[in-house]
Structure 1
Amino acid sequence: MSAADVLAVLNGQPPTPTDDGTCHGLREDATLWPEIRGIIETSIVSAPRSRQREIGPSELGTDCLRCLAAKLAGWKQDKGAAWLPFIGTCVHERFERTFTGLNKQGFDPDMRNRRFEIEKRVTVGSIHGLAGGYDVQGSIDLYDRHNAATADWKIVGATTMKTVKAHGPSQTYLCQASLYGIGLTREEERVEHMCIYFLPRNGLTLKDALPVQMRFDPKPGMWALTRAQLLVTFMDLIEQSDGADVRDAWIRTLPKSTGHCFDCGTWANDRDPVIPETAKPRTEVPERWTRLTPLLESRYPQSENTEQHNS
């Protein structure tokens, strides 16, 4: 702090701010931040959503065949502490309290008497392979029983908002909403509408939100489940015939998303070695296996199904 700043403080004036908005003599090195950051990131990666290993409804609709196959094959994935999804998780938790409080209070052993169910766990189908199988399960952000509608909160940035306005929800979102409806019908619940509410991550008010409402359609979800099962069958066939190395090599030949995929580049099996000289020769994929690839669809043949699309 300069002598002029000292005199200014003694005269009851604030220190002179610098060009970057800070004040001389007040800013220190952020030595406390590493520990605080570590606590936050550990909390993020330890959350149940981050630890999920089996594939869920939010992943089945991707147009990235390579990442879908990698997930189904159980490749190790390292995403680190994902900050933007964590923001969405915090919003979800707040909404959970909000809508739960709107239900009539008191003892109610039958959930079917409640209008709102929050984070309702549903089984949307199953995937089976030679090594076993599992149910595909997910949690619906909000089920409005009175209106027979599912609702999914998407906390998104300006780019996603612009894309949705121009082209509608991505097939990933469409398949996810469809699968949730399938899960409810398996429980004999009524489903008529699928709602995806795109909420602005950077907006000042919900005037910038984009609500999308569609008629419930099970076809996108069934397409996604069928495609995943077909992928598992192909991978089992390759592994049983030529081993896991050839299966993994085949996965690396599958087409990536034509847009942006958050999973690309996060797979340990898909990375080049740190020391190239220690790398094993690339495994060749026999032609009979590459002929399977055209049988897999990256894109769902989407039909016009939107009831309401307000900006």
Structure 2
Amino acid sequence: MSVSPEEFMSAAPKAATGSSAWAARYASDIRRAWLEHAAQAPRTLQQHLGPSELGVECDRQVAGKMAALPETNHVVDPWPSIRGRALHSEAEDVFDADNARTGVLRWLTEHRVTPHPEHPGTADLYDAVEQAVVDHKFLGTSSMAKVRKTPPRKYRGQLLLYGLGYYLEGLPVKRVAIAAYPATAGSLDGLYVWDQRFTGPDGEIAPEVVELLTEIFTDTERRKRQAEEITSGRARLNDIPASPDNDECYFCPFYRPQAAKDGGTGCPGPGKVAAVS
């Protein structure tokens, strides 16, 4: 993002549009159906945090989710999530069909793993031939550029947690990989794969993997204590340290830039975060 989340949100269209007054009203009805359906999606309603959330760098966001605080970000549009769910469903069909075509059980799709007893999750893909765990990411142009440079910590953490889940089940995991798809492009030519080794020649988890997983588990325990502080009333959300980021804040359920002006609920976001240690 070249502008702050606050600037982006203030400039965003407030409603669907159309070629006439009737068309604009009808577009709003269609948009409402999509949004209400998205709000009832299982992933939206899930109460536990999975591997995709544990690697987020912001204590405030994760602790707030653990405390089950009500959302204050009512502006972010769920369309990217809707598109992502649809493409993930298609990806499952694609690799299941490849197994059927070849007669070889190479791909294991949408498999539930438990890298942490309290935080299971569903991994996208396991490749039995390459002994690799793969996570599908369907990305826009700017997010794709970031993955090509260095995948965000939350992506790497999510992937390593899935790898650990398979490893704990006794399956060999030599590598983990992000398959980054150009979701808004006109072809698959922009498909990019980022990979990292998970185990060494001895079959043991690589030191750099252990290091990041240890960080994530340490963060998780600290955030659970922070969530308990919030639910007990001994702390407010904005008492929890935050790691503001223009991209991450925009999609955070607790982002509310107006909080910087009125002191109300929600996190004000980048440049205005009052955090205490």
Interval of TM-score (by shorter of Structure 1 and Structure 2): 0.7 to 0.9
| TM, length-normalised to structure 1 | 0.66
The equivalent residue for 1:246 is 234
Counterparts in 2 of 1:36 and 1:148: CA distance versus 1, 3 Å: same
Note if 1:33 corresponds to 2:22: no
The equivalent residue for 1:109 is none
1:101 to 87, 97, 101: 97
Look at both structures and tell me which one has the larger radius of gyration over its CA atoms: 1
Aligned length: 236
Note if 1:256 corresponds to 2:238: no
Larger strand percent: 1
Note if 1:150 corresponds to 2:129: no
CA-to-aligned-CA distance 1:43-69 (integer Å, 9 cap, x gap) = 211111111221111111112221122
Q: Output the CA distance in 1 between the equivalents of 2:214 and 2:128.
A: 23
Q: Output the CA distance in 2 between the equivalents of 1:234 and 1:32.
A: 45
| TM, length-normalised to structure 2 | 0.74
The equivalent residue for 1:123 is 114
Report the AA paired with residue 22 of structure 2: D
State the Cα RMSD in Å. Answer: 3.2
Q: Output the CA distance in 2 between the equivalents of 1:59 and 1:232.
A: 13
Q: Output the CA distance in 1 between the equivalents of 2:167 and 2:146.
A: 31
Unaligned runs of 5+ in 1: 1-25, 106-112, 127-134, 281-288, 294-311
Note if 1:225 corresponds to 2:217: yes
Shift of 1:264: 6.2
On the 8 A contact 1:67/1:264 being kept in 2, the answer is: no
Q: Output the CA distance in 2 between the equivalents of 1:44 and 1:181.
A: 29
Q: Output the CA distance in 1 between the equivalents of 2:87 and 2:217.
A: 29
Note if 1:59 corresponds to 2:42: no
Shift of 1:262: 4.3
**Share of identical aligned residues, percent?**
23
Note if 1:83 corresponds to 2:71: no
Counterparts in 2 of 1:211 and 1:76: CA distance versus 1, 3 Å: same
Unaligned runs of 5+ in 2: 1-18, 199-208, 266-274
On the 8 A contact 1:158/1:200 being kept in 2, the answer is: yes
Report the AA paired with residue 29 of structure 1: W
Q: Equivalent residue of 2:220, what SS?
A: helix
On the 8 A contact 2:124/2:136 being kept in 1, the answer is: yes
Counterparts in 2 of 1:48 and 1:218: CA distance versus 1, 3 Å: farther
Q: Equivalent residue of 2:120, what SS?
A: strand
Report the AA paired with residue 93 of structure 1: S
The equivalent residue for 1:204 is 186
Shift of 1:203: 1.6
Q: Equivalent residue of 1:103, what SS?
A: helix
Q: Output the CA distance in 1 between the equivalents of 2:116 and 2:178.
A: 21
Report the AA paired with residue 138 of structure 1: G
The equivalent residue for 1:298 is none
Larger helix percent: 2
